[in-house]
Structure 1
Amino acid sequence: MRFSYSIIRLASLAVLLTACQQNKGNKEAAKKGPDSAAVFLLRKDTVNKQITFPAELIPLERAEIFAKVSGYVGTLKVDIGDKVSKGQLLAVLEAPEAIANYAQANADVQTARSRYLGSLDAYKRIVNAAKVEGTVAAGELEKAKSLMMADSAALNAARSKTNAFAQLKDYLTIRAPFSGIVTQRNVDPGTLVSAGTPKPLLVVENISTLRLRVPVPESYTAANTGTPVINFTVDAQPDVTYQAKLSRKAGALNLANRTETWEFLFTNSNNQLKSGMFANAVLKLGRNAPTFLVPSSAVATNLEKRFVIRLKDGKAEWVDVRNGINLGDKIEIFGDLSVGDTLLTRATDEIKAGTALVSKFPRT
């Protein structure tokens, strides 16, 4: 009996102790309240950054010269590295059939001209004779006129054919389209060439001025360069800095890599640089007006969106943003934000929208 009574007393004591502990925990939770979070006030600031982009040097002009007619390379006047002037003779092709066709066309013109002059003279005589009534029948007059007109048309056709063969004959002489330098030679005297040859006979480039083409990522395309002149270096001369001036922008993005091509011109007066060289272009980018800059940790990204967390009326609120220029420790953002908004210094998707938080500003 005494043993049963002791068990009941122990059970009552355990229940009482558990209740006290629960009440203590509830009081501590109520006393603790919402969590605090480090925050800052959103401000606008000037954005300026110096970024290095990979670039490429290409010639101002480049022409791949192909044969327009079939023939053999008779004479080759230039080789790689030779400087040429506009209109200078580069090569002469030999095509005996083209020469023969031109000679035949010339002979056809002479024959057609003789026929036309004969029919024209006959037509004029009949016209003069027809002035005396009853001398020439009306049908004879029309017949002479038709023959004269047919011979005139044949003469014009022969002349057009001759002009066409003359043009083909001119294609046998290959001349430089502009002043520059020969950078490729893919034929030798005696090589058979035609309009369908896959490789060009020669390649001529104008490298007196080089185009420096820089692919600029989409997020930087709206930035202001500040000055049209930029510095760049090349791998062959890493210790030398060159300057180029902005000439034009593509005005559209390359869909393959989401970049816009910016083209700068470099005066290559002493031919110190070569086309095809890779370069490192240094661009100083900025905005025309101040924009929002936040710590990089204030922007969170998940599978669905990129956002910052704004604290409004003590509750967390997700605000979608788009990134701009990345300054390393800070990043430019765009979104439905206002100056003076309270943002969390470290955003994470673990803090859900609507979570109660207490602002914790940094000590000044």
Structure 2
Amino acid sequence: MKKITLLSSAALSLLLLYGCGEKKEETAAPEPEKTVTETFELQKEKLSSEIRLPAELQGFRQVDLYAKVASYVKELKVDIGSQVKAGQLLIVLEAPEISSQIAAAQSRLHSAEAVYTASNATYNRLLETSKVEGTISKNDLDIALSRKSSDYAQFQAAKATMRELQTMQGYLQIRAPFDGVVSARNVNTGAYVGPQGKGSDLPLFTVQDQAKLRLAVLVPEAYTGYLSDGDNLSFTVGSLPGKTFNGKIKRMSGALDLKLRSERVEMDVINNDKKLLPGMVAQVILPLNAKDSTFVVPKSAVVNSAEGIYVIGVKDNKYHRTTVVKGREFGDKVEVYSDSLTVNQKLVKAASEEMRNGDAINQ
């Protein structure tokens, strides 16, 4: 019995020692890992990037042709897709009333001419006779001169009316104003056309100059400073994947659209092979090449919080915040502007709001 009691006491002592050791191991706290603040030296560089803007191709010259006078379509000389030259006859219209008006005007012109010829001859005879003193009174001569002047005015008015009707008759033949392609036809032979009413709803023809196109793009206000007259830009169109085209800036509006806050920029595009068509939507590649060097930092170095936008510098092993203005972003980099920044200044690469002014940095 004495041996059993001694063995039990020894076992109990071992169990107590083991339990105490386990308890100590469970309550021991792990040591915190030390984090190192990574810094970099601030440098200036020229940040280059690009954006894509939607644009529209248009004919360099485009015109909708309408009828000047009320008439009927007598003959169509061209159709959609026809290549036309400047001055080429496109359509012949018919207006019988104009022919009648011209005939009447021509009769009035001949009548006025005959009256003027007679009054002019009468005045000239009286003038010659009046050279003999006492033959023709001064009053009779003045009356003859007045009649001659009145008849001459009537004659000139008849001539003007005749020219006006002839001009109106000329409008019955519609010709191409420039070299181009007929891109639309909205009438057929016998259709009524005119300056008013149902016949004026649509143009007779639309003619476009497609050998050279306009590419119009609206550039947002933030990017207008990167463009200048004469710059070459490239663009693509969805219908011709894998192909890139070029154009040169020829016209800049010099003002912003009040609704879109964008500047209209136009480029001239040579299209001799006719692969590009007016109306196509294009994507213009706008390079944003900085003209001057600026401070460029990783995006992770800029903190955007309720307290403002800032970067965190390191001086005397302490954090120092510097308020900045963000510029363009490209990839993982961003431009920052501040008069307080200097070249080779040490900044925190991964900044956060927890880094307060004056706090010691972790090294």
In the TM superposition, residue 244 of structure 1 has moved relative to its aligned partner by 2.4
- Tell me the residue number matched to 1:118: 118
The answer as to whether partners of 1:92 and 1:172 remain within 8 angstroms in 2 is yes
The answer as to whether partners of 1:42 and 1:294 remain within 8 angstroms in 2 is yes
- Tell me the residue number matched to 2:357: 356
Q: TM-score, normalised by structure 2?
A: 0.77
In the TM superposition, residue 135 of structure 1 has moved relative to its aligned partner by 1.2
- Say which of 208, 229, 234 aligns to 1:231: 234
Give me the whole-angstrom Cα distance separating, in 2, the residues matched to 1:306 and 1:119: 96
Instruction: Say whether 1:267 aligns with 2:275.
Output: no
**CA separation of 1:45 and 1:154: change in aligned 2, threshold 3 A:** same
- Tell me the residue number matched to 2:55: 55
Q: 5 Å matches for 1:196-275?
A: 196=196, 197-224=200-227, 228-275=231-278
In the TM superposition, residue 193 of structure 1 has moved relative to its aligned partner by 0.8
Summarize deviations over 1:20-77 as a string: whole Å, max 9, x none: xxxxxxxxxxxxxxxx998766543102113222222111110100111111111111
**Higher mean C-alpha deviation, range 308-317 or range 263-272:** 308-317
Give me the whole-angstrom Cα distance separating, in 1, the residues matched to 2:322 and 2:100: 87
What secondary structure sits across from 1:142 in the alignment? helix
In the TM superposition, residue 240 of structure 1 has moved relative to its aligned partner by 2.2
In the TM superposition, residue 300 of structure 1 has moved relative to its aligned partner by 3.2
The answer as to whether partners of 2:230 and 2:250 remain within 8 angstroms in 1 is no
Give me the whole-angstrom Cα distance separating, in 1, the residues matched to 2:148 and 2:58: 60
**CA separation of 1:288 and 1:155: change in aligned 2, threshold 3 A:** same
Q: Is there any run of 5+ residues in structure 2 with no aligned partner, and where? A: 1-35
Aligned residue identity for 1:236: S
Summarize deviations over 1:91-119 as a string: whole Å, max 9, x none: 01111111222222222111111111111
Instruction: Say whether 1:138 aligns with 2:138.
Output: yes
Give me the whole-angstrom Cα distance separating, in 2, the residues matched to 1:260 and 1:243: 20
- Tell me the residue number matched to 1:287: 290
In the TM superposition, residue 199 of structure 1 has moved relative to its aligned partner by 1.1
**CA separation of 1:38 and 1:223: change in aligned 2, threshold 3 A:** farther
Aligned residue identity for 2:357: A
Instruction: Say whether 1:330 aligns with 2:333.
Output: yes
In the TM superposition, residue 227 of structure 1 has moved relative to its aligned partner by 8.7
Instruction: Say whether 1:300 aligns with 2:304.
Output: yes
Give me the whole-angstrom Cα distance separating, in 2, the residues matched to 1:295 and 1:226: 33
Give me the whole-angstrom Cα distance separating, in 2, the residues matched to 1:167 and 1:300: 72
- Tell me the residue number matched to 2:177: 177
Aligned residue identity for 1:46: K
- Tell me the residue number matched to 2:195: 195
The answer as to whether partners of 2:310 and 2:323 remain within 8 angstroms in 1 is yes
What secondary structure sits across from 2:241 in the alignment? strand
Aligned residue identity for 2:103: A
The share of aligned pairs that are identical, in percent, is 35
Summarize deviations over 1:214-255 as a string: whole Å, max 9, x none: 222221111158993333221111122222233232222222
Give me the whole-angstrom Cα distance separating, in 2, the residues matched to 1:217 and 1:300: 24
Aligned residue identity for 2:310: V
**Higher mean C-alpha deviation, range 153-162 or range 47-56:** 47-56
Give me the whole-angstrom Cα distance separating, in 1, the residues matched to 2:64 and 2:218: 25
What secondary structure sits across from 1:50 in the alignment? strand
**CA separation of 1:211 and 1:44: change in aligned 2, threshold 3 A:** same
**Higher mean C-alpha deviation, range 140-149 or range 104-113:** 104-113
Give me the whole-angstrom Cα distance separating, in 1, the residues matched to 2:178 and 2:283: 29
Summarize deviations over 1:249-287 as a string: whole Å, max 9, x none: 222222222222332222211211211111122232212
Instruction: Say whether 1:102 aligns with 2:102.
Output: yes
**CA separation of 1:108 and 1:145: change in aligned 2, threshold 3 A:** same
In the TM superposition, residue 359 of structure 1 has moved relative to its aligned partner by 7.3
Aligned residue identity for 2:76: L
The answer as to whether partners of 2:236 and 2:244 remain within 8 angstroms in 1 is yes
- Tell me the residue number matched to 2:78: 78
Aligned residue identity for 2:266: E
Q: TM-score, normalised by structure 1?
A: 0.77
**CA separation of 1:201 and 1:316: change in aligned 2, threshold 3 A:** same
In the TM superposition, residue 330 of structure 1 has moved relative to its aligned partner by 2.4
Q: Is there any run of 5+ residues in structure 1 with no aligned partner, and where? A: 1-35
The answer as to whether partners of 1:300 and 1:307 remain within 8 angstroms in 2 is yes
Q: Which has the larger radius of gyration?
A: 2
**CA separation of 1:117 and 1:290: change in aligned 2, threshold 3 A:** same
Give me the whole-angstrom Cα distance separating, in 1, the residues matched to 2:305 and 2:184: 51
Root-mean-square deviation (CA, aligned residues, Å) is 3.2
